[in-house]
Amino acid sequence: MYLNLVQLAESFGVSEKVVEDWIRANGLPHVRDRGRLLFDRARVVHWAAAHGLTARTGFLAPERGPFTSDLALAPMLRVGGIRRAVLASEVTEALAGVLATLPAVPPAVRALLGQRLQTPGGINWAPVGRGFALPHFSTRVSLGREAGVVALLLLRDPLPLAEAAPDGVPITRLFFFIPPSPRAHLDTLARLSRVIARGSLAGLVERGATDEELIEALAVADRAGNGEAKAKEEPR
């Protein structure tokens, strides 16, 4: 879903000039189409999370549904696994290996996802800083409640991307994810972005933490995120 400049400004409660300033100074993701500025909703959400911004109204208001308050990243990472010392030249092959871990997904669906993986523009790489990117399918995928997956790829060498990271740090860490539903897509982006920006995950990766330590870091983030979501839903 793409938003125009007016819609995006409305969602954040700022002027159109402020949005234009974010583009110039803070790398707000955008595209130009026949002179118009357009913004991919999913990319804006994870950019906003990485920059400590929250939209509560309009077109970027948080989506409500069965997967947004109880999303658990740690079990999804346990399914997708942690792959270490992956060569940048072999990232696509490694992502294809993640598809093989998807639970309860018919072979035909895996084959379709494999085709999307190989299609130019099929993956949105979404660099978020601190050496991390959040690759995911450019088109929304719906696999079912029990089929979501997160995989962490730790690279031996930097991955060259057309889109530079906001802090200029080379990309050597990838959180590849397929959410259990389109509704959970934005929640997954936002939660992973917060874990990277605010949590201890980057430090754990740098010191060579074990798989269990990294999974537990996501479990801690799950408990915190679900607690916040429930607190917001409680009547005042």
pLDDT at residue 140 tops 80: no
How many structural domains compose the chain?
2
Beta-bridge mates of residue 173: 132, 154
Q: Do 201 and 170 share a domain, yes or no?
A: yes
165 secondary structure, DSSP code: P
Per-residue confidence at 205, pLDDT binned at 50, 70, 90?
very high
- Cα Rg of the chain (Å, integer): 17
187 falls in which pLDDT band (50, 70, 90)?
A: confident
On whether both 115 and 140 belong to a single domain, the answer is yes
pLDDT tens profile 26-43: 888 998 888 889 988 878
**Whether residue 86 sits in one domain with residue 56:** no
pLDDT at 202: 86
Could you tell me the CATH number of the domain that includes residue 152?
3.40.930.10
pLDDT at residue 214, as a whole number: 95
- Asked which of 24-28, 75-79, 130-134 is least confident by mean pLDDT, the reply is 24-28
Q: Determine what percent of the chain falls in helix, strand and coil, rounding each to the nearest 5.
A: 45, 15, 35
Claim to verify: residue 110 and residue 16 sit in the same structural domain: no
Q: Which helix (H) or strand (E) holds 155?
A: strand 149-155
16 vs 32: CA distance, rounded Å: 15
What distance lies between CA 5 and its chain's CA centroid?
22
Strand 132-133 relative to strand 173-178: parallel, antiparallel, unpaired? parallel
Q: Do 9 and 108 have their domain in common?
A: no
Confidence band for 19, pLDDT divided at 50, 70 and 90: confident
* Residue 156: domain span: 73-233
Q: What is the mean pLDDT of the segment spanning 5-27?
A: 82
Whole-model pTM over 0.75:
no
The widest CA-to-CA distance across the chain, in whole angstroms, is: 53
Rounded to the nearest integer, the mean pLDDT of the chain is: 82
Residue in 71, 96, 213, 84 with CA at minimum distance from that of residue 148: 71
Co-location of 131 and 204 in the same domain: yes
CATH number at residue 41: 1.10.1660.10
* Cβ-contact 196, 129 below 8 angstroms: yes
Q: Is residue 66 included in any domain, yes or no?
A: no
The answer to whether position 142 is within a domain reads: yes
Checking if the pLDDT of 236 tops 50, the result is no
Establish if 68 belongs to a structural domain: no
